[in-house]
Amino acid sequence: MFRKILLAVDGSDHSEIAADYAAGMAKAFGATVFLVHAYPHTSDLLGYEDFEKLVARRKAAGQAILNKVRKRLAPKDMTILEDLLEGPEAEAILAAAEAQQVDLVVMGTRGLGAIEGMVFGSVSRKVAHHARCPVMLTR
Ligand code: ATP
Ligand code: MG
């Protein structure tokens, strides 16, 4: 039923839990995991003298988030593809889901922001609203 599962991570404990669910689903269905993180769009850095350096730093921080989750999933012995995306987050995740034709998106209900009182984060809400495939919001 699920051949390719997009796992979206933001470095939060919530997305670590999502990673475990994605791994469980991938194992159960023999699916490939497509691991993605979207770093913030770099347009706000335009005009800074050290633009290139700031962009590189942003990408490195994003890559570190991917690496951490990849390490967590390594012992689970499954095929993992990954992509470092440029934000805005929800749009980037939705575009990647379309481009890779995934059958399932797995992500946390909340993330790094976690302002109390909100059930959904803005990224999970938008992705769940617009995705064309099932979305699993973990908690
Ligand atoms: P908000 O960001 O609106 O303050 P929040 O941080 O609590 O709220 P979301 O950002 O919606 O909630 O995070 C929910 C889930 O979405 C995360 O657990 C993660 O799986 C995914 N996610 C959030 N940000 C990103 C990102 N930049 N790249 C990839 N996935 C992300
Ligand atoms: Mg967030």
pLDDT 10s digits, 93-129:
999 999 999 999 999 999 999 788 888 999 999 999 9
Residue 15 Cα to ligand 1 midpoint, Å, equals 8
pLDDT score, position 75: 86
pLDDT score, position 41: 95
- The DSSP code for 85 is E
| CATH number, residue 112 | 3.40.50.620
pLDDT score, position 107: 98
Which residue CA neighbors atom 2 of ligand 1 most closely?
Answer: 113
Ligand at minimal distance from the CA of 14 is 1
Ligand at minimal distance from the CA of 10 is 1
pLDDT score, position 124: 98
- Please tell me whether the overall predicted TM-score, pTM, comes out greater than 0.95 for this model: yes
Angle at which helix 51-73 crosses helix 13-29, to 10 degrees, equals 50
DSSP H or E segment with residue 32: strand 32-39
- Give the pocket of ligand 1 (CB within 6 Å): 8-10, 12, 14-15, 18, 36-38, 89, 93, 107-108, 110-115, 121-124
pLDDT score, position 47: 86
- State the alpha helices, DSSP H only, in 1-139: 13-29, 51-73, 89-99, 122-130
Coil vs helix vs strand at 129? helix
Residue with tokens 């350096």, as numbered in its chain: 53
The model's confidence at residue 3, banded by pLDDT at 50, 70 and 90, is very high
pLDDT score, position 45: 86
Domain enclosing residue 37, as ranges: 4-138
pLDDT score, position 54: 94
pLDDT at 86 over 90: yes
- Residue pLDDT, tens place only, 74-85: 888 899 999 999
Query: How many domains does one find in the chain?
Result: 1
Ligand 1 atom closest to residue 8's alpha carbon, by position in its atom list: 30
CA dihedral 99, 25, 115, 10 (to 10 degrees): -50
